[in-house]
Amino acid sequence: MSKPAVLVARAVFPEVLERLSQHFEVSSNQADDTWSADELAARLAGQQGVFTTASERIDAALLARCPELKIAANMAVGYNNFDLDAMTARGVLATNAPDVLTETTADFGFALLMATARRIAESEHYLRAGQWTKWSYDLFAGSDIHGATLGILGMGRIGQGIARRGAHGFGMDVIYHNRSRLTPALEAECKARYVSKEELLRQADHLVLVLPYSAASHHAIGAAELAQMKPTATLVNIARGGIVDDAALAAALRGKRIAAAGLDVFEGEPAVHPGLLTVPNVVLTPHIASASVPTRLAMANLAADNLIGYLTQGKPLTPLNDAVLAKG
């Protein structure tokens, strides 16, 4: 009996490819070439499964050209690269990689917050350029983190991880806004207090965005929201590009309407709005919040587990569109 065929659309750990090859005929992209939608569709011809990252779009147009596809397994917790309605209509299962990256991403979010508040990147650039000639009382004086008000927009697992770090490690006053309020037990564990979005914007000394991207959250932070923040506040986005209006943020940073920003995600990434590249009071990182070796390996293995579980036994671990499973 021939093995199912799967495509691994991006470079991945060799040991994960080896695991997959024990169950499937694997086509891979270890050169990590960037494929257009047409190229991806052509390579998916005859494949039953695809291992994706957040950069491969699985939508109705692609699915119409890939009638044998049964599952797309994302090596990411976010899945805005998937058109779930189109996939469900075609009977294609979607899976993601939740939980395994929570603590690593929360670590990074807090690191980015600290780098932003304490002007670490800005001061390093200054030092490397040979501009440091003497000490002065206000040289790169930033804002405190301990005892400050930490605001979190989006209070899922990663948001809760950041809240715990702030409240327990730095004695921060944690406030949050979410589509649904946490249970009293979780609020107590995170030492977090629920507020309206408007109050969150007004009160936060440091605002961290951890909400999923959707049409409803597109530009959740734009010019109007930035205008409600304290001029001394910092903004950190480790969620998804498009949640922040990057053009409005660049203008706010240039005009010192907020103090600083730390960004790991961008609209249209890997392109970055040019306005963000010319202001000094922003820390920029290339979508690396989950990038520890153990966590990225766990993410890749979970995507592989979903492919193996579904195509060999009909039992994926983390399905997103259960209606496909219900159809049998």
Q: What is the pTM of this model?
A: 0.93
Q: Are domains 5-100+293-326 and 102-284 of this chain identical in fold?
A: yes
Catalytic residue check, 187: no
Q: Is 287 a catalytic residue?
A: yes
> Cα(35)–Cα(42) distance, rounded to whole angstroms?
10
Helices (H), 204-317: 223-228, 246-254, 293-313
Residues, the chain, total?
A: 328
- Strands, DSSP E only, in 140-202? 149-153, 173-177, 192-194
- In terms of Cβ atoms closer than 10 Å to its own Cβ (0-12, 13-18, 19+), residue 25 is middle
Per annotation, catalytic residue among 240, 267, 273, 296? 240
| pLDDT value of position 59 | 97
- Catalytic residue of the set 10, 119, 287, 296: 287
* Cβ count within 10 A of residue 322: 11
Which sequence spans correspond to the domains of the chain?
Answer: 5-100+293-326, 102-284
Distance CA 27, CA 11 (A): 11
Specify the pLDDT at position 66.
96
What dotted CATH number matches 5-100+293-326? 3.40.50.720
Rg (CA), the chain: 22
Q: Which of 25, 189, 199, 269 is catalytic?
A: 269
CA–CA distance, 81 with 87 (Å, rounded to integer): 11
User: What pLDDT sits at residue 324?
Assistant: 96
Instruction: Tell me the C-alpha distance between 184 and 181, whole Å.
Output: 9
Q: What is the mean pLDDT of each run of 10 residues along the chain (328 residues)?
A: 93 98 97 96 97 95 97 94 96 96 97 98 97 97 98 97 98 97 98 98 98 93 98 97 97 98 96 97 97 98 98 97 89
pLDDT given for residue 327 in this prediction? 82
Assigned CATH for 102-284 = 3.40.50.720
